[in-house]
């Protein structure tokens, strides 16, 4: 958790810093780069499998027809 208040431009600033690209506009120029939220120098953590209620064969063999688009805004 970060004690710093970030804004939307911080996401752009983070991408610019990590990928070493020039600024993309006015929103990211005054923003911080979220560096207090990440430790990019740490060693990667080992992969952990997470048990799922359904296995891959369920989705590969699913014969249900696709449903329509979400229409909550209608």
57-69 tens-digit pLDDT = 998 999 988 877 7
Average pLDDT for the chain: 86
Band (27; pLDDT cuts 50, 70, 90): confident
34-51 tens-digit pLDDT = 988 988 889 998 999 999
Cβ atoms within 10 Å of 71's Cβ, excluding its own: 6
**Confidence check: pLDDT of 74 > 80:** no
Q: For the whole model, what pTM was predicted?
A: 0.53
- Under a CB-based contact definition with an 8 Å cutoff, are residues 32 and 10 in contact? yes
């Amino acid at each position: 958790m970060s004690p710093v208040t970030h804004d939307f431009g911080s996401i752009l600033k983070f991408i610019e810093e990590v990928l070493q690209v020039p600024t993309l506009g006015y929103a990211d120029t005054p923003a911080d780069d979220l560096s207090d939220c990440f430790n990019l120098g740490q060693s990667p953590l080992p992969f952990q499998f997470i048990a799922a209620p359904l296995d891959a064969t369920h989705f590969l063999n699913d014969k249900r027809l696709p449903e329509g688009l979400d229409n909550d805004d209608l």
